[in-house]
Structure 1
Amino acid sequence: MRVVISEFISLDGVVQAPGGPEEDTDGGFAHGGWTHPFFDPETVGGAFDEALAGAEALLFGRRTWQAMGRAWPERAGDPFADRMNAIPKYVVSHTLQDTDLTWNNTLRIAGGDAVSRVRELRGGEGGDLLVMGSATLARTLLAENLVDELRLVIMPVLLGGGKRIFPEDGTLRTLELASSVTSPAG
């Protein structure tokens, strides 16, 4: 499997709370929902449709999994929502138990086993293991060189602080641009 990370990201590297004001207020973050003015359904929505179409499974951190698990099951009948609900999902958590896994097709990966378990999944056959959101998990996977592709939806905004996915360990990591598209919304 290939590990693919798909993130909304500001020009200054912030990924925190792109969807709404109450999504993630850790550290006093007050800019939740910052993607809305720049969201173009065709370009941005198409990028997420494409990423999900290539995914064989989803991988989330606990907080993102809980937010997604509250939102997507109630949106049945939409092709994207139906795919989100049907696809196998993994959630990395130190606190959730198997009995907490109410979103269908979800398996728990114990927090301390995340790196080794993702290595196992990545070494197996299959399509993409798609990570959406999950800043801490994404940063860990990048630091461990377990990411095969970054799909960044860069929004033309500076947020001045918040959660980021890029490791701050002084390690040089080179990337190759595979493609880019500019939406009419910027």
Structure 2
Amino acid sequence: MRKLIESTFVTIDGVFSSPERWGAPYWDEEHSSYATSLLGEADALLLGRETYEGFAATWPSRSGDDYADRINAMPKYVASRTLTGAETEWNATIIRGDIAERVAGLKREPGGNLLKFGTGELDHTLIEHGLVDELHLWVFPVIAGGGERLLDGLDITHFERLRTVEFASGLTVMVLGSK
């Protein structure tokens, strides 16, 4: 059975939006190595519509390094009620209907991990249905001062700390498992 791994960036004041504004000083070799390891253990991506559209506008033009080549080649499952035509673009399959049921089905298939990037409505569904096996919460030592906050509106949900990875830059990844 596959694991669903959520990988998301957040500031110390809980903001996840616009990481390009506050995250760049911490994107170094340690960050890259950890991200590459997560991607290497996965054989498919799970994305919401907004993350898919942002990634599809950027990643296909990148090539020549292992990370970009791998992310471009991987199948992508995209949860969306509105996206059309993406089924033939950038190795995407649109999943509609009961997203929790569809993702549970993907987890039952053989293969490597499903890696999910981006934070939003899809996360609420996945967490509420107990489908996230691990949450890799990249905590950046910066205050954004405003923006969308991570997982606002969810009911109390407990996780267990599996491990913590600290980088020289001050970035910390908390790896949390569902209880």
**TM-score of the alignment, normalized to the shorter chain, above 0.5:** yes
Which residue type is aligned with residue 132 of structure 1? F
Q: 1:29 — aligned with what?
A: none
Residue of structure 1 aligned with 2:98, choices 113, 116, 127: 113
Q: 2:16 — aligned with what?
A: 15
**Given the alignment of the two structures, is residue 171 of structure 1 paired with residue 131 of structure 2, yes or no?**
no
Compared CA separation, residues 100 and 12, structure 1 to 2 (3 A) = same
Q: 1:5 — aligned with what?
A: 6
The secondary structure found in structure 1 opposite 2:162 is coil
**Given the alignment of the two structures, is residue 96 of structure 1 paired with residue 62 of structure 2, yes or no?**
no
Structure 1 residue 52, shift from structure 2 partner = 0.4
Q: Percent identity?
A: 37
- Quote the Cα distance in structure 2 between the aligned partners of 1:170 and 1:93: 23
Which residue type is aligned with residue 94 of structure 2? R
Runs of 4+ in 1 over 6 A off after TM superposition: none
State whether residues 60 and 134 of structure 1, in contact with CA within 8 Å, keep that contact through their aligned partners in structure 2. no
Structure 1 residue 145, shift from structure 2 partner = 1.1
Residue deviations 1:90-122 (CA, integer Å, cap 9, x gap)? 11111112x234532110011x32111011111
Greater displacement, 136-145 / 78-87: 136-145
Structure 1 residue 168, shift from structure 2 partner = 3.3
TM-score of the pair, normalised by structure 1: 0.83
- Map of 1:53-132 to 2, 5 A cutoff? 53-97=40-84, 99-101=85-87, 103-110=89-96, 112-132=97-117
Structure 1 residue 170, shift from structure 2 partner = 3.4
Structure 1 residue 9, shift from structure 2 partner = 0.9
Residue of structure 2 aligned with 1:52, choices 31, 39, 47: 39
TM-score of the pair, normalised by structure 2: 0.86
How many residue pairs were aligned?
A: 170
CA-based RMSD of the aligned residues comes to 1.8
Structure 1 residue 44, shift from structure 2 partner = 1.1
- Quote the Cα distance in structure 2 between the aligned partners of 1:34 and 1:86: 28
Compared CA separation, residues 100 and 126, structure 1 to 2 (3 A) = closer
Compared CA separation, residues 126 and 164, structure 1 to 2 (3 A) = farther
Which residue type is aligned with residue 66 of structure 1? E
Compared CA separation, residues 71 and 84, structure 1 to 2 (3 A) = same
Structure 1 residue 175, shift from structure 2 partner = 1.6
